[in-house]
Amino acid sequence: MAVGVFDSGLGGLTVHQAIAARLPDVPLVYLGDNAHAPYGVRTADDIFDLTCAGVQRLWDEGCDLVILACNTASAAALRRMQETWLPADKRVLGVFVPMIEALTERRWGDNSPPREVAVKHVALFATPATVASRAFQRELAFRAVGVDVEAQPCAGVVDAIELGDEILAEALVTSHVESLLRRMPHPEAAILGCTHYPLMEEAFQRALGSQVAVYSQAGLVAESLADYLVRHPEFLGTGQQSKYLTTGDPQRVSGKATQFLRRPIRFEAA
């Protein structure tokens, strides 16, 4: 009954942690493609190929349902995977839609026509590849009309977080927020469109001001998954064991993951 969680590196551990807390009885298999991270600077075709390979590896672990806990993969590869590659008995879900549906106050899975929503000015902070894909704007347009989105590519933030350099990461967050505010002085809401960014949520909130509602992904994705599995229990796979897998060096990745979440985590070779 295992569910897979895929990310290009360590950021997806924030989503994994939230899912584990929400669904403690569901085994989770996490795969970090650390050997090829970061995805944010890769081409769309490269991201598609790497994401498909990672998802296939999780299917081999008995995970019929895989969460792409990576905004870059969700933006650059998910729709193409669903349209051209995905078998009928498998599911791959991304991290954008639950957050957009929370922003637009729609029940998860509500496919009614787009409508006017209360929030009109939204700031999006994400990796350069996610911003370039315009996937957030595309998905938002399916659900809401009249929303102005200003996107800010946040180069360097993920690297600083994974290096454990909180001072640099906070300085970069402040710089990126200031850059966006020059273009959109009064956002009503801000989307943290990278699974690393929940670790810097307080820095984003401080830089934006208390009047801006900040939306982070981990808890929203976990709640959406719980709802999905109630409605589609057939996609609980055959896997029985929780584990952490990496395409990188397990010892090195384990050390960085332990630093990242501040608790012991042991990775195995994928």
Q: Which residues are annotated as a binding site?
A: 7-8, 39-40, 71-72, 195-196
- Dihedral over alpha carbons 254, 255, 259, 265 (to 10 degrees): 30
Q: Tell me which of 52, 63, 154, 194 is the catalytic residue.
A: 194
194 catalytically annotated: yes
| Residue numbering of the annotated binding site for substrate | 7-8, 39-40, 71-72, 195-196
Cβ 170 vs Cβ 203: under 8 Å: yes
251 φ/ψ angles, rounded to the nearest 5 degrees: -65, -45
CA atoms of 69 and 231, how far apart (whole Å): 21
Which uninterrupted H or E stretch holds 65?
strand 65-68
Question: Which CA distances in Å does 237 have to 59, 86, 176, 221, 229?
Answer: 8, 15, 41, 19, 11
Residue 211, phi-psi category: left (phi > 0), alpha (psi -120 to 50), beta (remainder):
alpha
State both tokens at 22: 């929400």
Give, for 29, the enclosing helix (H) or strand (E): strand 28-32
Q: Rounded to the nearest 5 degrees, what angle is found at the Cα of 213, between the Cα atoms of 208 and 214?
A: 75
- Reading phi first (left if > 0) and then psi (alpha if -120 to 50, else beta), residue 5 is in beta
- Say which of 52, 63, 70, 154 is annotated catalytic: 70
The CA-atom distances, in angstroms, between 236 and each of 4, 27, 91, 203 are 10, 10, 10, 37
Residues annotated as catalytic are 70, 194
